[in-house]
Structures are given as structure tokens and as C-alpha cells.
Structure 1
Amino acid sequence: YTPIDDRTWRERGWMIFSTSGTTATPRSFRYTALDAELWARTSARALYAMGVRAGESALTCTNYNPHVFFWSIHHAFNLMKVAVVPGGVPTERRLQMIDLYRPTILVATPSYSLHLAGAMREAGGDPAASSITKIICGGEPASGIASTRRRIEETWNAELHDVYGCTEAVPAGWAFTCREGLKRDPIATHVQEDLQIWELVDPDTFEPVPPGARGLTVVTNLNSEGSPQLRFLVGDFATFDYGKCACGRTFARARGGFNGRADDMLNIRGLKLFPSVIEEIVRGFDALGNEFQIVLETEGVMDAFTIVVETSVPVGETYANELRVRLEAEVIRQCELRPRIHLSAPGTLPRTEFKARRVIDRRRTL
């Protein structure tokens, strides 16, 4: 996967990054000093489209592990003269940082941004009254899932922006949301076509799909010394709009963002389901919390499909039964699948700073 040999690495190596291992064994990549410069400039252009300007400050909620999302943004902030508060510390300390340093930008995964807000409320604070005016998310879909976007923006009283990419081929100069795009429904995510060649292909034949049709993302990266991939199958479903955006940019835009990976698609009782659909449904219930899991098991020869979700506050049994009925009905309506619903008390499901593990598949393979 890399053209950087040992000699090149010794002469101008910058940093090693690896994929998250969410869908396969993690893959490592060597990136060079030239990549660092390219990342900073192209990522800064995306951040500028989000309204980020010199003089702001940003809290980056990461332990600075070898994943490209946070590092790309960090170096772009440096170039833009945006002060960085490196939040590689526990949640309690991050809350103190927001109070002490009053950053205007929060960088986090969507799941963690909601967890941080919950921790702030438990400590007696109010996220909506904090200094945060922009939230920049990556690692998971955010703005393209309407109920998740609404929940994050209302919780923090801030604009939510998305970045999209992958370690292999689009580590910087990602696809991004712009300020004008936030006013449109559905949200659209720009792809930087002068940095990468973007294609959409049929998931079965891998042939190009017609304009306006949904397909899997394929990218040729023209903006990297360490990973100049040719027609790399990123593997997210998208639909491109080639019309001019209200912001004036002429890049193609992914309508509704990038919300479903081909590898994430579940086959349950012969029906196809993306976890992002369940997220959209769950986050649409104010009485339900931010954390949920999809648990798949085998009972006899059938798939057992359970949604485990926290309530936003402790609830009595009568109201819990009502919530179960309403949630089950909405899943059946949208997915044509009948789930079991297990409601958990607030704070019982695991939290993570990076990609949340939403699917637990315990089914037997024949």
C-alpha cells in the first residue's frame, strides 16, 4: 500500500498512520514531510469553508493515536493561526479546559461530542451556554443523519460540520460541509475534485453509475506522496450532485453526505439494513439517550435482532413499555424488521473517543 521504502522513510519520514480496523485488519501507512504540508493546506481550505478563521481556538478531543482525522485538522489549525488546545486528557479535564480556555471550536467524533455534553451537564454545566460555536466531526456520519445533527446542534447551540476521508487515499483535503450547505435539506458534502478524482460505481459490477444515481465511492488520490492510490474503493454509498452550491464552490457534492459503508450493511432475515438507519430512528426520540447497540444472534435457524438503547433519564416501567412499543413500530415502519427492544439506564453502554462500536454480531455461521 505504500511507495515509501526504508531509505525514503529515514530521509524524510513524518508520521505513521493506520486504519481503525473497524472493518478489517488495520493497515499502516508511512507519510512524509511533503504529505504534512499538503495535508495542512488542503485541510485548511476545507476548514475555511466551514467558517473557521484566524483568531479562533479549538479543543481537539483525542488521545492523538495514529488516525488521520485529528492530526489533519491539528496541522491545518496551525497553518490558519487557530490556537489548539490539545485535549489528550480525560473527559473531566476537557471540561475544565472548555471552562478555562473558552475554545470556540470542538473537534470530536459525533458520539463523543454528545458524551462530553452529558458529562458537562452532570457536572452542573450547560453545553449550550459554553464558548463552543462550531463542532467539527469525523470518524462517524453526523450531519447527514438528520436526528443526530439536530441533537448535537441543539445540545451545544453550535454549527455541526463534517469531514470525510480514509487513511488509505483521502487523509486530508477530505470531503467537507460548508456553511451555506448547512441551510439546505438534505445536507450536502463537497468533494475536492482538484485533489482527488471521485467516481461512483455499482456495488455489484463496479461499473460507473449514471449521473444522479447512488453508488460506492472510488477515489484516485492526486494529493499524496505517501499513498498515491489509483481507483481505491473507499466503499461508502453516496449520490453526487454536480450543480453549483450556494456558497459558490463548483465541487461535486454528496447529497445527504456519506452515511452507509458497503461493509457495514447487515443482512437480517434476508433484508438489508444500515446501522445509520437505526441511528436516525433512535436519535429521533428525545426520551432516548445517545448510546445504542444492534445485537444480532441466532435462535434456531432465525436471526434475532435486538436494539439496546439507553434512556435519556431514568423512566418508570409504564413509560418504558410505551417507549418500547413506539420504537418497535418505527423500526418496523422504516426497516420492515421487527426488533426486540431493550432499554438500559443512562450511562450503562460503553463510551469511546473514536468510532463507536454499534453492531455486535453473535450469529452462527453455517
Structure 2
Amino acid sequence: MTERASTPYSETIWDEVETWSRDRIEAFQTDALKRQLASVAERSAHYSKVFADCGFDPRDFRSLEEIRNLPLSRKADYVKGLAEDPPFGTFRAVDIADAVRVHYSSGTTARPAPVLWTDHDINRWADLYARYLYAQGLRRSDVFHCMFGYSWFVGGLGATMAAQRVGALVIPGGSVDTERQIDTILEYRPRCVIGTPSFMAHIAEAALRRGVDLASSSVEMVCVGGEPGASIPGTRERIEGYWGARMFDCYGALECQPIGWDTAAQLGPTLAEDFIHVEVLDPDTDDPVPDGTPGVLVLTHLDKQACPLVRWWTGDIVVRDSSMAADGRTHARLSGGVQGRADDMLIVRGVNLFPSAVEDVVRAHSGTTNEYALVIDDSMKDPNTGMLRTVTLRVERSNPSDNGLGEALKSALKAKLNVSFNVEVLEAGSLPRTVHKAKRVLKE
């Protein structure tokens, strides 16, 4: 795909591709996939072997359904490829001389993994990102305060490039120095801020301790990504209340940036279907599920050059809606955003439990701070089956004299989730704060 000019298509739409018919989207994806799969087969050592092993010839590709003839790709495959051909791995599909950027995973559960970009990939990324910021309401005259991390992380530079492409004035604040972030908001009056939900909540709490009410600030847009939050009703309500601003879900991943973002309508992240082909699969059978049914999001790049992915298993549980949105956008949306991760799901006495569901209950309760943790240890398991019988929730109370918080949360969690929790109530400030991605499930 050729690079487009950095000017909006209309007053509300960044790129006319956002209004293509479903037939046109699918025809475009079919043609793009045929080219992409042929390129991947030739240039990526990993996919060249995968295609040969399953007898797939890209020249025979005729319809989107045929992509299901290919095996899924998972993070473990990517990590294995890094070990086989260090330092950039077997998924790589360009010479190192043709790559211009590398970002890394957070490394919270394994060694940080690198992902490469070419100049084409960078420009594509920036334009897609700009499309979504524009859809949320960012404009040329705005000040954009970026509080994503810049060191190693993919978020900060991506947001900066996109906001600059829209024409906004960017403040690259990063995710450090809380007091200076607050001072910057007060002095330079950004209309839009962006960061992780945890950091946005942390900034708001710190401001209140200083006697600063950010709901009275210049901020009208709070964009968040990197962890669940904006699509969790309790979290959205709480952070929008802190900031007196609308909060938008910005969904991406290191390996695939971006995936989809909220528009101004806040109907759930709208997918970039001219950049990715999307499948939603049953997590147990790998069979496709219909719109409206939860499943795991699986992505295939349509024109990524440096580190292309084919049938990438994100592990994220989503619900797709392919109907046209009220604003005329035709790309499918993820209703309710990411509802959880398949590998984070807990089964407690036969009930499927996602941490995001617990977060919704905790954040909706006015007596809690923003921090909580789910704790699991062997004492919580049935000695005969090994299945969880309960889970411990550690939560902070915002009012030191609120002695009924534990029982109130137990009742609310049982009523909404049908799971019995042990609730440990701690004083405010007891749990660690984070400026990056919060870890909510602790195994002791």
C-alpha cells in the first residue's frame, strides 16, 4: 500500500478506507493476503518452513477462508525463533540493513523480545495511530501530553508520531516524575493525555493529594492503552470522574501496532481491517465463532514488512461486532474491548473468572483506591482435584474508618461473579504503584 498524505479525509474521518463496504474490505484483504503470504514465504525463515511443512503454496490462495489451512503462531514460536537465529529471530523478513527501529517486550515473564520495523512499517503505524486519535477527537490545534514510557517500550514513540501527524503539539512526558507531570498539565494545558490506565489513576490520586482537581483542568480526552481499563465500566467511570474527561481505549500490542481504538462514539475498539485480517476463535477448539460470541483474537498482517505475523494468537478474549457503526465507519469493532486473556482466566469451582471482571466490581465501589491484587496459592486448591476453591482479593480502602468494606465487596463479587472471595482490606498506599503495566494476579 502506498503511503497516504498526512491530511484528514473529512472533518470526522481520517481516511476514506474507514467507510469501505464489507465487500470491498474483504476483496482488499484477499488481494493483500495473497501478496503478503507470498512475500512471507520467500523472506521469513519461520514461515517458509511452516508453509512447506503444511504443504501450503501462497500462489494457490484464493479466499479468506483458506487462511485457516495454516497453523496458528504463538509467542512461544517467536521466542523459539529468537533462540534459533539471534538476536532478531526467524520471523524476521527483511535484512537488518532495511530495518530502522526495534522495540522490545516488557520482559515481565521472559527475556525482553525484540520486534523490528522498516521505514514503511513506521509510516504505516504512524498513520493508523493518527487515524484513531483523529477519530477520538484530537485536532491540529491541540496540545497532546504523552505519558507512555519511551525507553525500549513501543507506546511513547508511537503516540508521539501519530499526534505529530495529526498536527498536535506533543509534550513527551514519559511515565516518570509524577509531580512534574501534574505541573505540566497545569502550566501547558493539554487537551489530550495518554498513558496506561494505572498511571492515569496514579496521576489523578497524586494530584488530589496536592489539592489539585484534574476534573477542572484543560484535559478533555484521556487515552489509555497497555492494559485493560477503558473498556471496563467501573474503571472507565472512575478515571473519567477523576479527570472530568472522556476516556478512550487504545488497543495494540508490541507485535502488532495498532490493532484497534475507540472512536468518539466509544463503542469498543474499531479494528484496522486494512492492516490486519481478524479471526475470533474458540479458545478450546480453534474454530471460528460468530459475531457476538467471546473468543480469542487471531491476527494476520496484510502489509507488515519487517516482522510479519500470520495467524498470531493474541490470547485476548474479545467479542466482534461487524455491523456498521452509527458514525458510518464500517470496520469491525470489539464490543467491550479486551475482556480478558485466555491464559489469565481462572476457574474457581467451575466458574470462569477474568481479572478484568473483578476490576469492574472493585473500581465501581467508591470505598476503594485504584489498587488491588488477586492472590493465589496452593491452600486455595482442592487437594483432590487441584482446582481453585476460592481466590484472595487484596484491596485498599480509601476511608480508614470504613470497617465494612471487606464484607461489602464479598457480597458484590458473589452477586456479580458467583465466586466466593477472601477479601483482605489494606490501608491506602499498602500495595505497590506502577507507572507501566500493572500485574494483578500474584501466585504465592
Normalised TM-score (structure 1)? 0.90
Change (3 A) 1:211 1:98: closer
1:227 is matched with: 307
1:73 is matched with: 159
In the TM superposition, 1:210-249 aligns within 5 A as 210-249=290-329
Q: In the aligned structure 1, how far is the partner of 2:291 from the partner of 2:366?
A: 37
Q: Give unpaired runs (5+ residues) of structure 1.
A: none
User: Structure 1 residue aligned with 2:417, among 325, 335, 340?
Assistant: 335
User: Structure 2 residue aligned with 1:157, among 227, 230, 244?
Assistant: 244
Residues 127-136 or 334-343, more deviating: 334-343
Which ranges of 4 or more aligned residues in structure 1 deviate by more than 3 Å?
A: 21-26, 268-271, 300-304
Q: In the aligned structure 2, how far is the partner of 1:161 from the partner of 1:141?
A: 11
Is the 8 Å Cα contact of residues 195 and 225 (structure 2) preserved in structure 1? yes
Is the 8 Å Cα contact of residues 396 and 429 (structure 2) preserved in structure 1? yes
1:177 is matched with: 262
Aligned residues: 348
The offset of 1:271, in angstroms, is: 3.3
1:54 paired with 2:140, answer: yes
User: Structure 2 residue aligned with 1:3, among 80, 89, 92?
Assistant: 92
The offset of 1:164, in angstroms, is: 0.8
SS, match of residue 308 in structure 1: strand
2:225 is matched with: 138
In the TM superposition, 1:283-362 aligns within 5 A as 283-299=363-379, 302=382, 303=388, 305-313=391-399, 315-316=400-401, 319-320=402-403, 322-362=404-444
Q: In the aligned structure 1, how far is the partner of 2:284 from the partner of 2:319?
A: 16
Larger C-alpha radius of gyration, 1 or 2?
A: 2
The offset of 1:342, in angstroms, is: 1.2
Is the 8 Å Cα contact of residues 141 and 169 (structure 2) preserved in structure 1? yes
The offset of 1:13, in angstroms, is: 2.8
Q: In the aligned structure 2, how far is the partner of 1:41 from the partner of 1:31?
A: 14
1:254 paired with 2:334, answer: yes
SS, match of residue 283 in structure 1: helix
Q: In the aligned structure 2, how far is the partner of 1:293 from the partner of 1:82?
A: 37
Residues 286-295 or 22-31, more deviating: 22-31
Query: Between Structure 1 and Structure 2, which shows a larger proportion of helix residues?
Result: 2
Change (3 A) 1:58 1:270: same
Change (3 A) 1:265 1:25: farther
Q: In the aligned structure 2, how far is the partner of 1:116 from the partner of 1:300?
A: 35
The offset of 1:260, in angstroms, is: 0.7
Letter in 2 for 1:134: M
Q: Percent identity?
A: 35
Change (3 A) 1:216 1:301: closer
In the TM superposition, 1:124-135 aligns within 5 A as 124-135=211-222
1:276 paired with 2:362, answer: no
Normalised TM-score (structure 2)? 0.75
SS, match of residue 257 in structure 1: coil
Is the 8 Å Cα contact of residues 148 and 155 (structure 2) preserved in structure 1? no
Q: In the aligned structure 2, how far is the partner of 1:311 from the partner of 1:26?
A: 35
Is the 8 Å Cα contact of residues 135 and 158 (structure 1) preserved in structure 2? yes
1:18 paired with 2:104, answer: yes
The offset of 1:26, in angstroms, is: 3.4
SS, match of residue 263 in structure 1: coil
Q: Deviation digits for residues 311-355 of structure 1, max 9, x if unmatched?
A: 123x22xx32x2111100111222222211111111221111211
Q: Deviation digits for residues 166-209 of structure 1, max 9, x if unmatched?
A: 112x213x3011112x3xxxx32211111110010110111111
The offset of 1:23, in angstroms, is: 5.6
Change (3 A) 1:165 1:62: closer
Change (3 A) 1:24 1:202: farther
Change (3 A) 1:24 1:276: farther
Q: In the aligned structure 2, how far is the partner of 1:49 from the partner of 1:216?
A: 26
RMSD between superposed Cα atoms in Å: 1.7
Q: Deviation digits for residues 232-255 of structure 1, max 9, x if unmatched?
A: 111211111111101110011111
2:113 is matched with: 27
Letter in 1 for 2:427: A
1:38 is matched with: 124
Letter in 2 for 1:361: K
Is the 8 Å Cα contact of residues 331 and 338 (structure 1) preserved in structure 2? yes
SS, match of residue 216 in structure 1: strand
